């Protein structure tokens, strides 16, 4: 088993539907960092897992009113990875599920006011706490270090409001180590 760190940037957005209509969203930048674990199953196949702090969110407009939402998550991912190439420099493709729990964040509402997110299942809350989805991506591994890019798509509606549907979508660019 190998372990290490990872950190990087998130290009985040959400798919948002308001009363069945798609809402146009923007792509703000967030961060992620945490720990990695990798268990080799054979020469080319591994299971990769890790825990992350990950900031996500989006900016959007409804009826010419600007909103912003930026939740922060603790996230655990479990990916299967397949390696190609020579021993010291290898290309990997990977994919698997993620599970995350929101613990905070902020929003900017229709009045332009900065407020902390309210998390829960009730209609009065801003977001549900739990999210789950799928990640897939590719990375270049060189002597215990890697640069990777992945796409994560939320499978769970994280809006507690009946008139809204919100799902996280994240492009992550990561630098990591495994020793």
pLDDT digits (tens, 9 = 90+) for 119-141: 999 999 999 999 999 999 999 99
Can you give the residue ranges of every domain in the chain? 2-177
* pTM for the structure as a whole: 0.91
Assess contact for 1 and 169: CB atoms under 8 A: no
Write the CB contacts of 179 (distance below 8 Å, at least 6 apart in sequence): 2, 3, 4, 144
What gap in Å lies between CA 151 and CA 168, rounded to an integer? 11
pLDDT at 86 over 80: no
Assess contact for 90 and 81: CB atoms under 8 A: no
CATH 2.60.40.790, applies to 2-177:
no
What gap in Å lies between CA 90 and CA 99, rounded to an integer? 27
Q: Which tens digits make up the pLDDT trace of 11-65? A: 999 999 988 889 989 989 999 999 999 999 998 999 999 999 999 999 998 888 8
């Amino acid at each position: 088993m190998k372990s290490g760190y990872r950190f990087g940037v998130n290009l985040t957005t959400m798919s948002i539907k308001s009363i069945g209509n798609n809402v146009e969203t923007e792509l703000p930048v967030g961060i992620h960092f945490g720990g990695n674990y990798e268990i080799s199953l054979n020469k080319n196949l591994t299971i990769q897992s890790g825990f992350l702090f990950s900031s996500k969110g989006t900016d959007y407009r409804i009826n010419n009113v600007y909103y912003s939402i930026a939740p922060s998550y603790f996230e655990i991912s479990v990916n299967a990875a397949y390696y190609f190439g020579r021993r010291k420099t290898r290309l990997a493709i990977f994919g698997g599920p993620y599970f995350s729990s929101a613990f905070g964040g902020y929003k900017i509402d229709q009045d332009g006011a900065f407020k902390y997110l309210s998390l829960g299942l009730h209609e009065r809350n801003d977001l549900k706490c739990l999210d789950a989805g799928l990640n897939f991506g590719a990375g270049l591994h060189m002597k215990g270090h890697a640069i990777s890019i992945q796409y994560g798509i939320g499978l769970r509606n994280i809006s507690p409001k009946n008139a809204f549907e919100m799902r996280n979508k994240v492009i992550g660019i990561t630098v990591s180590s495994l020793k």
